[in-house]
Amino acid sequence: MKNLKLLLNLKIHCDVFEDTNLIVSGQSSADNDLSSKLGNVFVISKNILYSADLISEKASKYYDLESLFPDKNVPKTIGMWYRDLYNTIYICFENGEIYSLIIDNNGVQHCSISHDLECKVVDIQWSPDEELAAVVCDSDSLILLNSEFFSLAEIDLNDSCRGENELISVGWGKKETQFHGSEGKNAAKSKPTSVDPSFIEDNHSVNLTWRGDSNMFAASYWCSEKNMRKVKIFNMDGVLLSTSEDISGLNEPICWRPSGNLIALPQQLPNKKVVSFLEKNGLKHGDFTLPADTKVKHISWNEGSNILCTICENQQNHAEEVMLWVTGNYHWYIKQKFKFVSLTRNVWWDKERPNRIYALCEGGILQILEWTSLVSTSYHSQSEDKSYVSVIDNNSILLTSFKEAVIPPPMSSYKLNCSDAVNHVMFAPLDGDQPHMLCAILFNGDVAFFKDPLSSPTILSDLVQKHNISEEMISLSHWEWVSPDILVFCSSVKRETHIHQLSISQDGLELRNVTKFQGNIITCNRRAEKLVIQTTDGKLFSYNTKSLVVTETLSLIEPCYDIKVHSSGLFCLSELSRLYLNNVPINFPSITCKVTSFILKDPYLLVTTSSHKLVILQCSDSENVEISERKLERGSRLVTTFDNSVVLQAPRGNLETIQPRALTILTLGTLIDSKQFKTALSLMRKQRLDLNLIIDHNQKLFLDEVNNFVNQIDPQWITLLVTELSGEDVTANLYKQYYKKKDTSFLNGSKVKSVCEALLSVMSTEDLRKKYIFPILSALVKIGEMSKAIQLASNEVAMQHLMFIVDSNKLYMEALGVYDLNAALKIAGKSQKDPKEYIPYLNSLKSMEPNYMRFVIDKKLKRYESALMHISKCCDECEEECLKFIEDNSLYPSALKIFKNDLKRSSVIASKYAAYLFKERHYEESGIMYLRSDDKEKALQSFTRAGNWRQCMIIVMDSNFSNEEQQKHAENVCNMLISAHKYSEAAILSSEWLLDHDKAVEMYTQARCWKEAIYTAKKFGKSSLIDTIIKDALIETANILSEDINTQSDKTKKYVERLKTVRIEKENRTAYIFDDMSDTASETSSTSSVRTKSFQSRSSKNTKKMSRKMWSLKEGNPREEEALVATLSSIISSTEKYVGEVHSACSSLLVFQEDELAGKLQSALDEWLSIIDKSKNIIWPKEAGTNEASVLDEKFKYPPEVSIKQEWKFNLLKS
């Protein structure tokens, strides 16, 4: 589907070119400038060897060949070649002598004869690897030489030997045995047509051609015996492999395709002229027809084997015409037809740049042309475009609208015929009213405009206008249709380019202006009303078509031949398969140095790679993000895109259409935004997309247009949508790579309910309810309104649908739940339930009192709250059953609410509830319930167990107990508080109720409430206890605290050091160990998943044991790092308790003038807190990754929150 576009056109004139046809490439420049890479060439002119610089067009004399011959009689020069490896030029003369000239920058340093063939030489051809040379002698013989000029073989072309690989027929498939149709058996006797040799112009010369790998070569020679031209194929040792079959009409030119599969040579048939192809076995393998009245003078393949060049003589005007042929799908296209500046003496292709050709022309001109292969497409970024692709085929334009039909070449939707060969095609810009849609530049200088082909028949010939341009068409390149009335093209004059503007009018084409530009342009791209032009050195310029100002914009790292304009910049593809955005490489592992073709489909960039993948990137001003990739057929290239489809072409020429998910979602979004919900949903079903996307693409739009949505969509599709409806936003998970990240979802947390309610509000109207009954039922089921759905499913079909989307057993239970026994009977009848079971049960329900019936149903459905409500409305006969139901199902809170106005029942329920709470050890709540049931004795027991001494004493005071009984109850409560280690509360009770102040002081001491202990001793005249109990306990406690703090401080330092060691060891592990551990972990995970059941059966004891092992601080534990962090976190959390105790102890020590002990205690704590502050950044480094700990260890990812006031320290104790 590609056409050839002229990139470079240079005409180099040098005087030494006028009298020679021998010219070989020398050294080239190493910079990125394509024109400077031309370097220099070596030329023999008038028996003198020159070195010509193609940039400066100047030649310097290297060597006088007359000095090689004493008589100054220089034989005719047959061949010359330059070997860069040895920096040596070899020259072969007609007399058979071959000379080697060692050169440097100053000229020839040494000259010697390398070999003397001792025969007259007609031609010599070196192999592509320069290791072999085939020499043609005047007696139709060949000599094969190696690189050291030793003779490997001498070959006689007239030898009758057919070769080692001659095909032998065993008689199978003879023509006489085949079916010949209406022609009958006489067809077997017919002879093939041949051309009379007298009408064939042949100079009987021998022509040689090498295969690209240098393993074979072919010789075309005149066979006198057969009176026709034959071809013999030899291997690299000179052994004859095969001889061509008898093919009459073959001409002299011959060229072996570098890839090796075909040998091309012209052939004259009785009614036409063709280029025929031979295989290496000598058999013909197809041909293609040449234009009439032409004779092939030269034929050659480019190094890429994809372009065949034929130079033909027009037998009417004897002018030379150059045609470049390209094949695809077994069809040969003439992609370019042109003339060189004058008749050619020699033509050859560049070995390094496959699409560059050199032509040495008469008049001393060396013309250099270079093309690139590009697909000619219309502006597919426009939605109204029909995705046209044009293919040039001689004087026809094969035009296909891929949006209408995918037609592989050489077929097409339309065929636009022109008066002469087409060299370039342009599509009109889509930014204005266009009277024409396509423009073609023809070989004869005409510019042809075509109207929209859709209004014409398949074969179109509606040529609107033709306007002749006087300059030679080969010198005009880079045609661009800038605006509806302006065409721009370029012409090269040495190192200068002229930019021409043509205005389009009904009268013709008028040259508006010409802008001169220094440098040779290789690409030209339209950008609004400006042109982005690139020179051979990779610099980009902007040309304003209005102001005619050329400004430099940026410089590319390397020249790029495929440039596409985008709002975010210029996407440029170099010949080294690198893709750039402006001058910045797009570096993704999947496309780096691998890009073979690309297309922009805003906002996506589609790329094919040399690893045979299609990669889709999201291109934006800030960054390019890789969206997806998929495998392709080997060698596929992008052709065009339309809607959600991408067309690719395989190397053999066939087309493949795929629909990448990214483009499908892009198309889907456009349809939804334009409110074409039916088309969008159809596309989603076809592409198997999650139907939630039609909502999540724009949730607000969907809810606003729900009425429009329902009117467009078939009820079955709505039912399907409701069935697939989920609460997740698929643009944030399943299709997140195709959407920008949203801050919050519009229907955050209420999507299913909101969508279903919106749909129901439209579908439930009186005029639509019958039509949309199925989606209505589905929506009600989706939001849990099963009862409403059952009530709506009045007819047989609706009930059948309901049973289809809901399990019959569940539906049966739901029918019972709404107490609709008739519906339950219908559902049960359509299910697989046994009538002997459900019919008696339903009949028994019908016979019950309504409230009791509902109680029975609710009890069966385990809706205990509702069941209790219904049984409470039944008669007194059900009272015992009601109480038992409450007790069995622990419905005490609900029962208290229901019977709050029935004092008798609520008292009984409160008593039972209190007993239940006491049994569950909720003593505080049990005491409250006993109080409500007026059972103070049991309430006293409950509060005593709860340790609520104040409530106990309140009950005691309200119960008219004697003083002795009150004291007894107070002692019981006090003992309970002591056993629960609530010493401070026991001290208050002892002081206030038992009047035992000694015990109160002792309890305060136990609680470490030093100030309260001293106060109580002073107040009640127990000062002696201060020295005997309080002070001693205080000093002992201070020493214990000091030892504990020192121990915790040592542990902190030890664990922090170990943590540092563990982390260093973890970082030093090699990468392959990590890989092995990853594989092992994967296997372990797989194994453990199989054994889940056995783990679940372990006892609680074993589970705790496993937990202890997991958090073990033993060195080498796989979770040692997490265990250390957890332990340190626990130690740090305990500091808040220590600070309170130390502050209280130091305060009392200072009162007792124990300053030294208080200072020691405060210093120990202060040092510990300082160690912790310094260690926090080590334990929890700021640069730690978010995945350091597992989800179970979330609380250990950050330091614990500890509130320590700065006032805890006493200034009196500061050193």
pLDDT in tens, 76-119: 999 999 988 888 999 999 999 999 999 887 788 889 998 898 89
Q: Is residue 470 very low, low, confident or very high in pLDDT (cuts 50, 70, 90)?
A: very low
Which residues, at least 6 apart from 1010, have a Cβ–Cβ distance to it below 8 Å? 1004, 1030, 1034, 1144, 1145, 1147, 1148
* Predicted confidence (pLDDT) per residue in 827-865, tens digit: 888 888 888 888 888 888 888 888 889 888 888 888 888
Q: Please name which of 616, 605, 611 lies closest in space to residue 568, comparing C-alpha atoms.
A: 605
Q: Please report the pLDDT score of residue 1066 as a whole number.
A: 81
Q: Is residue 469 very low, low, confident or very high in pLDDT (cuts 50, 70, 90)?
A: very low
Segment among 209-213, 742-746, 982-986 with least mean pLDDT: 742-746
CA gap 1175, 1189 in Å, rounded: 19
User: Looking at the predicted structure, is the pLDDT value of residue 819 above 50?
Assistant: yes
* Predicted confidence (pLDDT) per residue in 618-676, tens digit: 887 556 677 888 999 999 999 999 889 999 999 988 999 999 999 999 999 999 999 99
**For domain 195-339, which architecture applies?**
7 Propeller (2.130)
Per-residue b/e over 509-539, b at no fewer than 16 CB within 10 Å? beeeeebebebbbbbbbbeeebbbbbbbbbb
Helix/strand/coil for 1037: helix
**Running DSSP on this structure, what letter comes out for residue 180?**
-
Are the CB atoms for 908 and 887 separated by under 8 Å?
A: no
State the average pLDDT over residues 475-498.
86
Handedness of CA 543, 544, 549, 553 (dihedral sign): negative
User: Looking at the predicted structure, is the pLDDT value of residue 382 above 50?
Assistant: no
Q: Is residue 806 very low, low, confident or very high in pLDDT (cuts 50, 70, 90)?
A: confident
Burial class (CB in 10 A: 0-12, 13-18, 19+), 504: buried
CA gap 130, 24 in Å, rounded: 14
* Predicted confidence (pLDDT) per residue in 568-605, tens digit: 889 999 989 999 998 889 888 888 888 999 999 888 99
Are the CB atoms for 910 and 929 separated by under 8 Å?
A: yes
Q: Please report the pLDDT score of residue 160 as a whole number.
A: 79
Are the CB atoms for 178 and 189 separated by under 8 Å?
A: no
State the average pLDDT over residues 685-690.
94
Segment among 231-240, 641-650, 1129-1138 with least mean pLDDT: 1129-1138
Which residues, at least 6 apart from 251, have a Cβ–Cβ distance to it below 8 Å? 200, 202, 229, 265, 266, 267, 268, 295, 296
Q: Please report the pLDDT score of residue 790 as a whole number.
A: 87
* Predicted confidence (pLDDT) per residue in 952-997, tens digit: 888 888 777 778 887 888 888 888 888 888 888 888 888 778 788 8
Q: Is residue 742 very low, low, confident or very high in pLDDT (cuts 50, 70, 90)?
A: confident
User: Looking at the predicted structure, is the pLDDT value of residue 1203 above 70?
Assistant: yes
Q: Please report the pLDDT score of residue 1097 as a whole number.
A: 43
User: Looking at the predicted structure, is the pLDDT value of residue 1094 above 50?
Assistant: no
Two domains, one topology: 378-468 and 566-655: yes
Q: According to the per-residue pLDDT averaged within each range, which of 179-183, 334-338, 380-384 is highest?
A: 334-338
User: Looking at the predicted structure, is the pLDDT value of residue 151 above 90?
Assistant: yes
User: Looking at the predicted structure, is the pLDDT value of residue 1194 above 70?
Assistant: no
Q: Please report the pLDDT score of residue 210 as a whole number.
A: 96
Q: Please report the pLDDT score of residue 1086 as a whole number.
A: 39
Q: Is residue 174 very low, low, confident or very high in pLDDT (cuts 50, 70, 90)?
A: low
Six token digits for residue 869: 């409500």
**Ramachandran area for residue 635 (φ above 0: left; ψ -120 to 50: alpha; else beta):** left
Handedness of CA 152, 157, 160, 163 (dihedral sign): positive
Handedness of CA 287, 288, 292, 294 (dihedral sign): negative
**Tally of CB atoms within 10 A around 692:** 23
CA gap 535, 174 in Å, rounded: 62
In this structure, whether the domain defined by 2-116 belongs to CATH 2.40.10.480 is answered with yes
183 against 129, higher pLDDT:
129
Distances (CA, A) of 505 to 167, 433, 442, 486, 551: 65, 14, 19, 9, 29
Kind plus residue range of the DSSP H or E element containing 687: helix 677-687
CA gap 819, 838 in Å, rounded: 15
Q: Is residue 293 very low, low, confident or very high in pLDDT (cuts 50, 70, 90)?
A: confident
Segment among 109-118, 486-495, 1098-1107, 1206-1215 with least mean pLDDT: 1098-1107
Q: Please report the pLDDT score of residue 1064 as a whole number.
A: 86
CA gap 365, 11 in Å, rounded: 6
User: Looking at the predicted structure, is the pLDDT value of residue 1166 above 80?
Assistant: yes
CATH number at 566-655:
2.40.10
Per-residue b/e over 708-731, b at no fewer than 16 CB within 10 Å? ebbebbebebbbbbbeebeeebbb
* Predicted confidence (pLDDT) per residue in 1147-1165, tens digit: 888 888 788 888 888 888 8
Q: According to the per-residue pLDDT averaged within each range, which of 553-562, 735-744, 1116-1125 is highest?
A: 553-562
Position 700, amino acid: K
State the average pLDDT over residues 611-621.
86
* Predicted confidence (pLDDT) per residue in 385-435, tens digit: 688 999 999 999 999 999 889 999 999 999 998 888 999 999 888 766 666
Q: Please report the pLDDT score of residue 1063 as a whole number.
A: 84
- Cα 375 to the center of its chain, rounded Å: 24
In the sheet with 550-555, reading across from the earlier edge strand, the strands are: 521-527, 530-535, 539-544, 550-555
Distances (CA, A) of 8 to 367, 565, 753, 1037: 10, 21, 66, 97
Segment among 154-158, 315-319, 622-626 with least mean pLDDT: 622-626
Q: Please report the pLDDT score of residue 445 as a whole number.
A: 81
**Strand pairing report for 414-417 and 459-460:** parallel
134 against 178, higher pLDDT:
134
Are the CB atoms for 805 and 821 separated by under 8 Å?
A: no
State the average pLDDT over residues 1176-1201.
64
The fraction of the chain above a pLDDT of 90, given in percent, is 35
User: What's the longest Cα–Cα distance across the chain?
Assistant: 158
Provide the whole-model pTM: 0.72
In the sheet with 624-631, reading across from the earlier edge strand, the strands are: 595-601, 604-609, 613-619, 624-631
Six token digits for residue 427: 């599509």
Q: Please report the pLDDT score of residue 108 as a whole number.
A: 86
Which residues, at least 6 apart from 1130, have a Cβ–Cβ distance to it below 8 Å? none
Would you list the domain boundaries of the chain?
2-116, 195-339, 378-468, 487-555, 566-655, 963-1022, 1025-1069+1112-1213
* Predicted confidence (pLDDT) per residue in 422-464, tens digit: 999 998 887 666 667 888 998 888 888 887 675 442 333 433 3
Q: Please report the pLDDT score of residue 176 as a whole number.
A: 60
Q: What is the mean pLDDT of the chain?
A: 84
**For domain 378-468, which architecture applies?**
Beta Barrel (2.40)
